[in-house]
Copies of this chain bind each other. A is one copy, B any other.
Amino acid sequence: MSTIYSYRQLYNFSKTIFLKIGCDEKDAETATRSLLSADLRGVDSHGVARLSGYIRLWDAGRVNAKPAITIMHETPSTAVINGDRGLGLVVAPFAMQVAIEKAGAVGTGWVSVKNSNHFGIAGHHAMMALEHDMIGIAMTNASALVAPTFSKERMLGTNPIAVAIPAGKQPAFVADFATTTAANGKLEILQRKNETMPAGWALTKDGEPSTDPGEIKNGGSLLPLGGDKEHGSHKGYALGAIVDIFSGILSGASYGPWVPPFPAYIPMPENMPGEGIGHFFGVMRIDAFRKADEFKEHMDNWINRFRTAKTIAGQEKVIIPGDPEREIEARRMKNGIPLLGAVVKDLTELGERFKTAL
């Protein structure tokens, strides 16, 4: 079913493809690291499986391989960045670097980005702050798939939020999650296996509850975290809305139902109120609040206490956000990354087009 590739193999292949579409050396490396961080961390839907999708956006003229990423407006702790239709995989690390420098200077940095594209996994960007003893925050809007509470219309993307917090002897706390009950990728997996979907994940296009994982393909909608009103879906809807507003409206990107789609064959929304996809990044320097060593000792204490919390029947331990992804990364860096047959076929065709072997 799947073939194992080393990180190095996928790195060289992806970097070559990015170079072939015209990225410069540094951008090709940055884009490759952003993209493959998803494969390493087990988020297979957002990694190299999407490489040909990014290239189709470039084919369609929606991605600029040589963007002039610029700061449009700034204050000591903020900036708005124009991504110039660049790959989000490149624009996002640029913006995080600006936020890190501002945090170094005045304690925190907050950067809203317009005119970008999909940036891969949010957690990768948030984690850039960790080595500086800073907290990193990353979020992005995305094309609409999610119906607000009481609605059956796709109005918001899965709008993920990532927060990375350094610890001392313990590994960092890294939360990275879509503001929906379940990610779209999970529906696709169930559909491939011909299985049903739990109630509370999605609605039919007419707004009825459903357990058919094919609903999204049929025009249905994903549900916000919480699922239904009784279980707090208005909170998941509010979270997704906040991500949309911070990413889209603060920056001048598009927002809500007007966010450009990832699949290049879907036409662009009409009457877009802004430019491209929007992201939002935040960085807080720990010692702008208290001594970093003290903070990290307490983070270790927090993590140790939560790891040893009493479990419900059938569960061995309580998980600290970031634990599973870190374990997968260590394993895949050592043993390689498994790719499904369909992904290998897709990448092989891409390689043939650009005359490079996988």
Contact = CB atoms under 8 A, between A and B. Distances in A.
Contacts of A318: 148-151, 155
B112 A289 contact: yes
A234 B78 contact: no
A306 interface: yes
A40 interface: no
Given A238-B321, A302-B249, A309 B148 contact: yes
Given A231-B227, A236-B225, A78 B288 contact: yes
A196 B254 CA distance: 44
A150 B301 contact: no
A244 B165 CA distance: 12
A348 to B, nearest CB: 35
Contacts of A227: 227, 231
A304 B209 CA distance: 26
A317 B315 CA distance: 41
Given A78-B289, A110-B284, A231 B198 contact: yes
Contacts of A317: 150
A183 B112 CA distance: 33
Contacts of A251: 289-290
Contacts of A298: 249, 255, 273-274
B77 A76 contact: yes
Interface residues of A, number: 84
B319 A150 contact: yes
A60 interface: no
Nearest to A249: B298
A173 interface: yes
A290 B252 contact: yes
Q: How many copies does the complex hold?
A: 2
Contacts of A351: none
Contacts of A151: 309-312, 315, 318
Contact of A165 (B80, B148, B245, B311): B245
B112 A309 contact: no
Interface in A34-58: none
Given A177-B232, A177-B234, A321-B241, A73 B152 contact: no
Contact of A310 (B152, B239, B306, B319): B152
Interface in A223-253: 225-227, 230-232, 234-239, 241-242, 244-245, 249-252
Interface centre among A75, A150, A207, A235 (most CB of B within 10 A): A235
A338 interface: no
A153 B309 CA distance: 6
A299 interface: yes
A237 to B, nearest CB: 8
8 contacts: A76-B107, A153-B309, A173-B245, A178-B235, A179-B235, A180-B232, A250-B284, A255-B298
Given A163-B238, A175-B241, A225-B225, 4 more contacts: A151-B311, A152-B311, A245-B302, A249-B299
